[in-house]
């Protein structure tokens, strides 16, 4: 697939940066200011999601906690190297013939708030559902109906639902993707045993915390992969399998996209606009055609190596960045933080 527009450049489809702006400005003294459409580049909390940050946003505005700034730091080069290994190890990914995508209209980032449906046809023309019979796909899909999407309603897992979480972790840990990730993190002295790693994954992804008024109404897994609705808007929902299944049921309506990645095979990346049962998602980035373990591995890698920061990856020779956020209002274990969210923010 060809790139529609790089996420790191807030440009109109088919136009170059120079056509829109002169020299970029700085985030000096502007970190997390309110959005102003008249500014040449931005320093607000969502600029990375929309790909219109000033060049020095990361250096001036990001926090400096976590492993990436400690004496045992995981370097950018190491993250990019292991992400390439994970990319090559994803043998469960979709092949070209498994998915026919109809991305249709590309819009500019400035149009994402319009909430206009510019694509009359579904995003997915065809998906080979034999993929979903693979053990990790089947275990992943079993988890998707275990949540109430509205924040403010406490989650209460049955014994079977808790067993489904364990089954998912058990299946993905059998894959080459997760073996690569564990080997890397073990070598980096992050985990002393595979069981310690699995236990931490379960806590950081499935541990419950409170986004709304109700105790235990959210988790990293629910937010990122299943999706939530908060204050009338879709939050999270960064998974292509979930999107396809909901679109097939008529619950998702694909509106447009602002980015179509450069990969000519799967996994690819799409940043899109859509409604979910009437609720709007302004920008939702997602891998397309990846296995569940691939996404789970990359987001986990980034959360562990760059918690609350931009994480530089390399996939098939192309740069990509993922942004994670920590949930700071509650912790597990020895003061560890849950995953609040993780999503693709840029192609460089």
Active site residues: 223, 238, 281
The CA R_g of the chain, rounded to the nearest whole Å, is: 19
CA dihedral 145, 150, 156, 161 (to 10 degrees): 10
Tell me how long the chain is: 348
**CB 70 within 8 Å of CB 91:** no
DSSP string, 281-327: EEEEEEEES--HHHHHHHHHHHHHHSTTSEEEEEETTEEEEEEEEEE
The token pair that represents 34 in the structure block: 């309110």
**CB 57 within 8 Å of CB 51:** no
Residues 6+ apart with CB under 8 A from 56: 26, 27, 28
Task: Classify the C-alpha dihedral 173-179-184-189 as positive or negative.
Answer: positive
The token pair that represents 191 in the structure block: 């985990």
Q: Which helix (H) or strand (E) covers residue 89, if one does?
A: helix 76-89
Task: Give CA–CA dist 180/175, Å, rounded.
Answer: 9
**Torsion-angle region of 216 (φ positive above 0: left; ψ -120 to 50: alpha; else: beta):** left
**CB 339 within 8 Å of CB 303:** yes
Q: Which residue has the tokens 């008529």?
A: 250
Task: Classify the C-alpha dihedral 309-287-223-279 as positive or negative.
Answer: positive
């Amino acid at each position: 697939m060809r790139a529609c527009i790089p996420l790191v450049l807030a440009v109109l489809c088919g136009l170059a940066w120079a056509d829109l702006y002169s020299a970029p400005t700085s985030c000096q003294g502007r970190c997390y200011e309110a959005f102003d459409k008249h500014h040449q580049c931005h320093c607000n909390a969502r600029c990375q999601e929309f790909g219109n940050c000033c060049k020095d946003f990361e250096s001036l505005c990001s926090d400096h906690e976590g492993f990436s700034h400690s004496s045992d730091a995981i370097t950018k080069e190491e993250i990019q190297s292991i992400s390439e290994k994970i990319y090559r190890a994803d043998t469960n990914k979709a092949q070209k013939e498994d998915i026919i995508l109809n991305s249709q209209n590309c819009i500019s980032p400035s149009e994402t708030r319009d909430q206009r449906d510019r694509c009359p046809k579904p995003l997915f023309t065809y998906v080979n559902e034999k993929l979903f019979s693979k053990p990790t796909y089947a275990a992943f899909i079993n988890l998707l109906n275990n949540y109430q999407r509205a924040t403010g309603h406490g989650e209460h897992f049955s014994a079977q639902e808790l067993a489904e979480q364990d089954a998912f972790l058990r299946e993905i840990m059998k894959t080459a993707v997760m073996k690569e990730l564990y080997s890397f993190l073990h070598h980096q002295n992050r985990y002393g045993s595979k069981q310690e790693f699995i236990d931490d994954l379960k806590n950081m992804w499935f541990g419950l915390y409170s986004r709304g008024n109700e105790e235990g109404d959210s988790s990293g897994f629910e937010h990122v992969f299943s999706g939530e609705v908060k204050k009338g808007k879709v939050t999270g929902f960064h998974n292509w399998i979930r999107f396809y299944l909901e679109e097939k049921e008529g619950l998702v309506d694909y509106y447009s996209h602002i980015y179509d990645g450069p990969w000519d095979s799967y996994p690819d990346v799409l940043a899109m606009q859509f409604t979910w049962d009437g609720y709007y998602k302004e920008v939702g980035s997602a891998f397309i055609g990846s296995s569940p373990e691939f996404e789970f591995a990359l987001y986990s890698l980034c959360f562990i190596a760059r918690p609350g920061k931009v994480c530089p990856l390399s996939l098939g020779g192309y740069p990509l960045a993922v942004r994670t956020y920590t949930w700071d209002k509650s912790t597990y274990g020895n003061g560890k933080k849950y995953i609040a969210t993780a999503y693709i923010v840029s192609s460089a």
